[in-house]
Amino acid sequence: MLVGCLESGPDSELYGDRGSWTFAGKQDDPSATCKGRCGSPDPTVSGCYCDDECATYGDCCPDLAGACSGLGDKGCLPLMVNGDPQDKLDIVLIPDAYLDPQQLQQFVAAAKVYLGLTGEPGGLLSVEPFASNKDKLNLYYVKHQAELRCNRTFSCDRAEVDRLARTCPGHDERIVIFNNDHYSGTNTFSSWALTCNTTTPEHARHLAAVIGPTKLHCTDQPCTLAISRPWSLVHELGHSFACLKDTYNNNRWGHQYGKGHPNIDGFGCSKWCSGTPTVPAPNNQDCAAQQTEADCLALDVKPPCRWNAATKTCSPQKLVDDKHQLLNVGRGCLPGTGCYQGAEGLQGYRALSYPNTIMGYAEQLEFDIPSLRHLKQLLLKYR
């Protein structure tokens, strides 16, 4: 509890480097403030604290009660609070299966890496457009020690996640960090998110999950727990917050590209190009109906069908140029974009021929142009 922190705490001798009978920060010291640091387990420059334990240690900053009032009462603690939740994009991080205070500390450390609060490349606040819109975000975590089973998408206790998120004053986006070691590495994916056009109930939407520090990712001995892909939270938030789709070449999920997905389009890419393509539309939907190699290759469509001898299937050929590179079928595209077949299956087109950005292979820690444009648009709603 934060309220009552101005009372004296137990003997500081018992608590090592934490604690002091007097306030570490003086009333007139401008750095002794909890403004923007509510819930942080780190001391301010002047040595006072703003977390929910400072009451016990007796080392709270003088303005804690005013600056952080109401927070922590129900388990929600701030990581970075910039203002009224009404005006901000409120992101709540929720621990899954961090079952004691020490494990919970691990969770908080992981949350900070994922959010970019530690300066780690790929953390949320290091990636545009979030980097230059930091002040539009409120970041919280929920102090909670139980299983939510969000290591697997479909067993995740979404109703409980919803209840926990609601302990925070704002809860636009919920991100679960699951303790992989607790689940003995039985997760299917190391991260996942629910995208916008699902039929799942409201409480299950705007939800993503990422893996916590895990022994699985240890390459050194003894094992130092670390987050191996800090950018994966940004990628999943791209799905859950902005309805963005994966742009790496896949149709594993059987997804259809949809009108509601700003970074995937149909032939011609009218979302970020003129919509007038450079080549005629593929006329090869009949390929799949062909049963033999002869029929497959004889079919008179453009581009021609392709026969796969191993699977004995006839399928549409990708739109490639004469060097077998994916063909840019977009005309008048935004700078830095084109229109390339192969996102979410052959029906989907993306802005990059090789999608090395956050929603793709994430070799570059930035969003592709259509995604960035859409994210900026969404952030305009916040102040």
Only segment of 24-32, 45-53, 243-251, 295-303 that touches Zn ion (CB under 5 A): 243-251
What's the per-residue H, E or C state across 193-228?
ECCCCCCCCHHHCCEEEEECCCHHHCCCCCCCCCCC
344 binds Zn ion (CB under 5 A): no
Report in angstroms the alpha-carbon separations of 62 from 53, 69, 73, 82, 132. 14, 13, 19, 19, 30
- Separation CA 344–CA 251 (nearest Å): 5
Q: Which is nearer to Zn ion, 193 or 327 (CB)?
A: 193
Q: Between 44 and 191, whose beta carbon lies closer to Zn ion?
A: 191
The answer to whether 194 and 244 are in contact (CB under 8 A) is no
* Phi-psi map region of 254: left, alpha, beta (phi>0 left; psi -120 to 50 alpha): left
How near is the Cβ of 193 to Zn ion at its closest, in Å? 7
246 lies in the binding site for Zn ion (CB under 5 A): yes
Residue 40 CA to residue 364 CA, distance in Å, equals 30
User: Cα–Cα distance between 76 and 95 in angstroms, integer?
Assistant: 11
Other Cβ atoms closer than 10 A to 38:
25
The label of the residue with tokens 């087109």 reads 349
Q: Which is nearer to Zn ion, 152 or 166 (CB)?
A: 152
Give 64 or 264: the residue with its C-beta nearer to Zn ion. 264
Minimum CB distance to Zn ion smaller for 162 or for 246: 246
DSSP 8-state code for residue 281: P
With contacts defined by CB under 5 A, name the span among 54-62, 159-167, 240-248, 323-331 that binds Zn ion: 240-248
d(CA 225, CA 215): 6
* CA–CA–CA angle 357, 360, 362 (5° rounding): 50
Q: How far is the CB of 205 from Zn ion (least distance, A)?
A: 16
Cβ at position 268, least distance to Zn ion in Å? 24
Q: From the CB of 232, what's the least distance to Zn ion, in Å?
A: 9
Measured at CB, which residue is nearest to Zn ion? 246
Task: Please say which residue, 172 or 246, places its beta carbon nearer to Zn ion.
Answer: 246
Site string for Zn ion, 195-234 (x = CB under 5 A): ----------------------------------------
69 or 256: CB nearest Zn ion: 256
Q: How far is the CB of 11 from Zn ion (least distance, A)?
A: 51
Taking the complex as a whole, the smallest distance from the CB of residue 367 to Zn ion amounts, in Å, to 13
Residue 383 Cβ vs Zn ion, minimum distance, rounded to whole Å: 29
What is the C-alpha to C-alpha distance for residues 361 and 238, in angstroms, rounded to an integer?
A: 14
Nearer residue to Zn ion within complex by CB, 49 or 192: 192
Smallest distance from the beta carbon of 306 to Zn ion, in angstroms? 27
Checking 15-19 for CB contacts under 8 A at 24+ apart, the result is 15/57, 18/49, 18/53, 18/57, 18/59, 19/57, 19/58, 19/59
Q: How far is the CB of 230 from Zn ion (least distance, A)?
A: 15
Neighbours of 188 (CB within 10 A): 9
Answer whether 57's CB lies under 8 Å from 13's CB: no
Number of residues in contact with Zn ion under rule CB under 5 A: 1
Q: Cβ closer to Zn ion: 193 or 287?
A: 193
**Closest listed residue to residue 59, CA positions, set 67, 70, 68, 49:** 49
Span near Zn ion by CB under 5 A; candidates 15-23, 36-44, 241-249, 259-267: 241-249
Closer residue to Zn ion, CB minimum distance, 106 or 232: 232
Name the segment binding Zn ion (CB under 5 A); options: 32-40, 245-253, 293-301, 349-357. Answer: 245-253
Phi-psi group of 275: left, alpha or beta (phi > 0 → left; psi -120 to 50 → alpha; rest → beta): left
Stretch that binds Zn ion, among 100-108, 246-254, 267-275, 340-348 (CB under 5 A): 246-254
CB of 178 to Zn ion, least distance (A): 17
Binding site for Zn ion (CB under 5 A): 246
